[in-house]
A and B are shown apart, each in its own frame.
Chain A
Amino acid sequence: MEPLSSYIILSAALLGIGIYGLVSKRNAIRLLFSVELIVNAANINFVAFARYSNPPMLAGWNIVFFSIAAAAMEATVGLALILVAFRLNGTIDVRKLNRLRG
């Protein structure tokens, strides 16, 4: 069995990749990818901590259950918003979607 810290380091790496995507990408769909990666990093942490607590905590698994469902909903609404933004602006480049800038 792996030590707990290896799971946490993997999750931190996934979080780093997600934040890199959020900071540097311009395509709105890629930003959505990054958000999904970050959510998955959090889920790995939840499951790992639940598994390594003694006795294993069911609450961690249940929270991940709800988290996955919430992430699916977030992706649905995000993709609908991207479609609307594309229809209104003809682009999903977030650097060009600056009509609301003062």
Chain B
Amino acid sequence: MPDIAFLALSGLVIVSAIFALEAKELIYGAVGLAFSLIGVAGLFILLGAEYLAMFQISVYVGAVVVLILFTIMLVRRESGRIVEEEEPGRLGRAGILVAGLIALAVSGAIVLLVPISPEAPEFYGVPLPELGRDLASSYAVPLVILGLVIGATVVGGLTLAKVEREKKPNGTTQ
């Protein structure tokens, strides 16, 4: 019998993901994305990975979605209005077809190839000390590389987004 929490969370994830892509205003779309990511964090909690859920919320909802909101505001303020939103109907239908086919194929393959779903083993949360030891020993090099890449990303983002001083008043740099 399906778990009510799982059903609610997956409904939240799917519905707000669709809303993120289909909302008329891009700002509302970003909020929909935030709710979808929160739903994924809830799924992580259901799967026993509480610390991943916290990480997901703080990084995705706290950083990425806020960054997206700032970008939307910057783009909108400079242009006075946001681009689009009339979708090419043919493309939209083709997209639905392709996406539906892929999702059907993947789910069908799973259902056919894995007829008996394995039972989840007994499990009482992630052992955080063991996880920390793992991160500090066998994942030490990836962790350091991750820090370096984050630094490079910050420098690169700042360099890309830097405004040249000699730009014309209408906002173009050409």
* Interface residues in chain A, defined as those with a beta carbon under 8 Å from any beta carbon in chain B: 1-10, 12-27, 29-30, 32-34, 36-37, 40, 43-44, 47-48, 50-56, 58, 61-62, 64-66, 68-73, 75-77, 79-84, 86-88, 90-93
Task: Enumerate 15 A-B pairs (CB-CB under 8 Å) in ascending A order.
Answer: A2-B6, A4-B114, A7-B43, A16-B102, A18-B99, A19-B95, A24-B88, A36-B33, A37-B17, A47-B43, A52-B117, A58-B130, A80-B160, A86-B79, A87-B171
A99 CB to nearest B CB, Å = 11
Question: Are A75 and B98 touching (Cβ within 8 A)?
Answer: no
Q: Mark B86-107, 1 if CB is under 8 A from A, else 0.
A: 0110011011101110110011
> DSSP class of B's interface residues: helix, strand, loop or mixed?
helix
Question: Are B20 and A33 touching (Cβ within 8 A)?
Answer: yes
**Residues of chain A lying within 8 A (CB to CB) of residue B82:** 27
A56 CB to nearest B CB, Å = 5
Closest to A2 in B: B6
Interface range on chain B (Cβ under 8 Å from partner): 35 or more
Closest to A55 in B: B121
From residue 63 to 117 of chain B, which have CB atoms closer than 8 A to chain A? 63-64, 67-68, 71-72, 74-75, 78-79, 82-85, 87-88, 91-92, 94-96, 98-100, 102-103, 106-107, 110-111, 114, 117
Q: Kindly state the separation between the CA atoms of A71 and B68 in the bound complex, as whole angstroms.
A: 13
Question: Are A51 and B13 touching (Cβ within 8 A)?
Answer: no
| Complex A-B, nearest 9 residue pairs according to Cβ-Cβ distance, in ascending order | A16-B103, A24-B95, A3-B117, A23-B95, A20-B99, A80-B160, A12-B106, A16-B99, A80-B157
* With known contacts A20-B96, A24-B94, A27-B83, A9–B131 Cβ distance under 8 A: no
Known: A1-B119, A66-B146. 7 other contacts (CB 8 A): A15-B102, A18-B17, A23-B91, A50-B47, A54-B121, A58-B134, A72-B63
